[in-house]
Chain A
């Protein structure tokens, strides 16, 4: 058997013969996984006590409290705000919710204060998330109620509008009729002829014409008398028998008499009395004509005004018609909009989008989700502690001196320690993988090479680091402390206790390169998501580089000390 194998055999024999060490170091992490597995092998929430307080409880406050009082939460009414907060501080309750006094819809003070003990780390986040979701659920319920109320009002409004649209139609029809009548009236008024065709000057002209007629008559009478007298002269001087003469003269006399009679008649017509009467009549007529003309003018003005009014009415009716049309259009739009709202339920409006959180992988236990992290933790703790202890055991054993003076190089002892640790951690990994097959049989079997490679690299890094701790501190207590301290740092700078995203950016950037975080990530990807070595090669490379860097540092320190 070669030397390396014999040293490894010796290491195993010592570890196996140290029963307590075997139990603590080898079985300890497995025990942790087992216990954690039992603890987390369900999907139940935590039983969380919520302290509540309000100066004055209202129906809304009580509805909130009853909403919180679910399977996951148990509400405890505190006697005062300070007591509620103190209870959360001492751990009697996990959180404290202070409702404002007289909380009601529309009240000014609607701030609900939630006091969370963030020192409880992950529990605080769970409480916060669950509590907020409960409060949000209740808020959504209230929003839904309010929305339902608004929707019923909108429905009523829609019905009113439907009636109004019909009435608007009627109003439009009436308006058309009025407009027609208005046009008729306009035409009617327009058709009114107020022309008198007679004015005072016409009467004056009549008078003058009457005078002219009399004058012309007088002239005519004079002419006719002259003509008759001329004719008598002619008859008298002409060769007419007397008889004829007489006849003619008689005739002429008669004519003369007629003319005279006419003249007299006309003269009688133009007698001052008669003429005065005519003149009076004409004057009256003239006055009446003037008055008529005045009235006609007034009527014209009134007609013009009425026409203007009718025109304005027509314009206004036209405008009104347009307005009615527009209103009808608007009403129609409102109706359509209301109809579109009417198609939505209150829930659609109150919660237009529902965020449904779905797991990337679907398992029936928290253990499935935390198993890769647990496995990484177990590998880290076991590797760091075991390798530090194995190295320190070698240092503290009485046989160390004999090893040191033997012709066997330190590199061989280092390699033997590494392989011993790797074998033991390998055994743990094997058992953990067997356990994991209960949850991820197909994933583990289907991706076994990648998972083994990830486990090997993770274990190698932490074994080499743990050995370094052992070589550095040399004393068992100090090494265990240092290994535990190192593990704690890796744990704190990881997502296990708090999300690294909560850290200051500088630390977050550093933490991203934490070998533990990389290991957890690699195990999650390989076990939960079945990713191949190629797809996770960058992170694999990180672990390889970290491990080789550690070895390089050790080699540098070793050869420097050797030269000294």
Chain B
């Protein structure tokens, strides 16, 4: 009797939530269109892969050796060198923001090189430090090649002496494509967004409109309210997940090395956590203004900045690491990146999934308490 009452009520409430969700077009816009927009924006818009970096070359030494040294710059797909005559001109360009770096080959370069060590000067605009470091890497790569070639040709024996060459293999992302790790991260952000934005209004709205007071004085149990509110948005989240996975595979061609079932399973688990977090914020704040601000500050921004999405957590101070470990998004981020690029690495996945399950249970329980059928 009691159990059947539970199902009847749960079905009735779920139907109500679904209807409300479908009738408010703004829900569908945020739930289905925003993720699509984000997929495209993130996928195409965010990239660390510096291409055609603007490099200004000042060749003060016009000797063939000097020309030979910098010829490698032109073949590189990463560098778009521009040649100017004087250093003044180059400095003007960098100050005007029209170039990112200056490579200066001094007048006595070939003489120095003959002495065994040629020095070139690389002037970087350090404001965009990441691009600057990348350019430095490209330039050093492009310069060293002709020198070695030349050395080989002249048959200089000492050139071969004592050289250590690096045989590098990058696992999981051989080409070092940033989309490969940004796109799985994007799935995390979308799942976070759905939860926070869609559900953070749900309970607050019922408080503000006074509908909860009427619901409370019925046989409804708080847990039924929570579960019914989660159900329709799990469906929306699942649709978003499928869209993200399809985009990842066919649009951005990110490999999926782990099993699809695990990816879907862990994503649904995180979806529950993020929906429950939104609901909890909503129940705790009881007003839409505060709830939406909290949702933005507590979910989206940290998920973007502190979850290891872009910034590697190994590089941050301990305090920040503690904060980021407290975020459910961090654990999901680690699962999803591993599953996409590395494969089914069980110990990792089990630990993170365990933590996420704990979060889901805790948040549902806490929300249930917040809906404890009292107006106090």
A binds B: no
Binding site for B on A (CB under 8 A): none
Binding site for A on B (CB under 8 A): none
